A = this chain, B = another copy of it.
Amino acid sequence: MNELLRYFQRELPAINEFLDTEANQLNGLVKDVAKHIIGSGGKRIRPILTLLFARAQGYTGTDYHAIACSLELLHSATLLHDDFLDDAELRRGKAASHLVFGRTETILAGDALLALANEMGARYGKARLSWLLARGIMETAVGEIEEIEFSKNPSLDRDRYMEIIIGKTAKLIECACRCGAALAGATSEQEDAAGAFGLNLGIAFQLVDDALDYASPTSETGKPEGGDLKEGKVTLPLILLMEEDATLDRESLLRGLKEGSLSESECHTILTRVREGRFSEKTRDEAAAYVEKAKACLDGLAPGEPVVVLKQAADFVLTRTK
């Protein structure tokens, strides 16, 4: 992982500085919210992926920060609205923005970051970049809506779950990779390969996130253990448990998830059985298959640093513990 680590160390300062400069130009009412969410320890996976695919496709320029960072700002915008609508208390271990700054500031900061991200992508005067961003914004909005709809009417339907994680997470990562290729003027086949890498990596990323939710203590992820279960979210570890353990009462579980009425002891039972059945690990196994699919999408690229780093990034998605 040395190359990956070095790449992040080398590129992150300029990315963070760019994000900071853009956030500082926002209006006073929303600037602090934007800086709070941007500064709250995001991994910057999306901008790094944009840069890596631009480099992998032969882009040698230095004008990549606006498009790369637009993906990070889109992601930040969705977190602001999500956390408000979920009544979330924590984001990456810190108090959620709406609790620190208020609902008006948080909703408007989400709107402003989305607008800024979109505008940053449009600066290039490249219709393809604007189209990709527009699609990415639309798909992410739809993914978020479908997730909330699913939580209002949860099921143990694995296809529905996959649709939702693709919409809420994988499509934006696909978009990040496509934008890098498009910046480099890649052919549509090359851009599609970049997109397929991103889509598969994004699915793996969310699967690992959902696995971690059942596996790690708060201190590492910044989220309470079993938080998804307590929030009524159906994710793969729970679906796997229900598929394999016929002794659990599915209807009662779904009702409890829908109504938010699962007791502490019911949650404890489920968390224990997920642990005993190793369903968090089995979710990671499914993620591993998507990581392999993602890596296969890199076959057409010329060997070099970007491909080495992209492969290590794919592996890191799988091995991360927070």
Which residues 116-138 of A sit at the B interface, judged by CB distance below 8 A? 116, 118-119, 121-128, 130-131, 133-135, 137-138
Which residues 180-236 of A sit at the B interface, judged by CB distance below 8 A? none
A85 close to B114 (CB less than 8 A): no
A144 to B146, CA, bound (A): 28
Q: How far is the CB of A126 from chain B (nearest CB, A)?
A: 6
* In the assembled complex, A5 has its CB within 8 A of some CB on chain B: no
Q: Would you mind naming 12 contact pairs between A and B with Cβ atoms under 8 Å apart?
A: A81-B107, A85-B104, A108-B145, A111-B144, A114-B137, A115-B134, A115-B137, A115-B138, A116-B138, A122-B135, A123-B131, A127-B127
Residues of chain B with a CB closer than 8 A to A110's CB: 111
* In the assembled complex, A270 has its CB within 8 A of some CB on chain B: no
Residues of chain B with a CB closer than 8 A to A144's CB: 108, 111
Residues of chain B with a CB closer than 8 A to A71's CB: none
Residues of chain B with a CB closer than 8 A to A134's CB: 115, 118-119, 121-122, 130
Given contacts A115-B138, A122-B134, 20 further A-B contacts (CB under 8 A): A27-B142, A27-B146, A27-B149, A29-B149, A81-B111, A108-B145, A110-B111, A111-B141, A114-B137, A115-B134, A115-B137, A115-B142, A118-B118, A118-B138, A119-B138, A122-B127, A122-B130, A122-B133, A123-B131, A125-B128
* In the assembled complex, A28 has its CB within 8 A of some CB on chain B: yes
* In the assembled complex, A255 has its CB within 8 A of some CB on chain B: no
A108 close to B141 (CB less than 8 A): yes
A108 to B147, CA, bound (A): 11
Nearest opposing residue in chain B for A167, CB measure: B27
* In the assembled complex, A44 has its CB within 8 A of some CB on chain B: no
Nearest opposing residue in chain B for A84, CB measure: B107
B108 close to A107 (CB less than 8 A): no
Q: How far is the CB of A227 from chain B (nearest CB, A)?
A: 19
Residues of chain B with a CB closer than 8 A to A152's CB: 29
* In the assembled complex, A240 has its CB within 8 A of some CB on chain B: no
A131 close to B141 (CB less than 8 A): no
Nearest opposing residue in chain B for A149, CB measure: B29
A114 to B145, CA, bound (A): 14
Nearest opposing residue in chain B for A121, CB measure: B134
Nearest opposing residue in chain B for A28, CB measure: B149
* In the assembled complex, A103 has its CB within 8 A of some CB on chain B: yes
Which residues 137-160 of A sit at the B interface, judged by CB distance below 8 A? 137-138, 140-142, 144-146, 148-149, 152
Contact with B along A44-61 (1 / 0, CB 8 A): 000000000000000000
A261 to B96, CA, bound (A): 31
Residues of chain B with a CB closer than 8 A to A114's CB: 111, 114, 137, 141
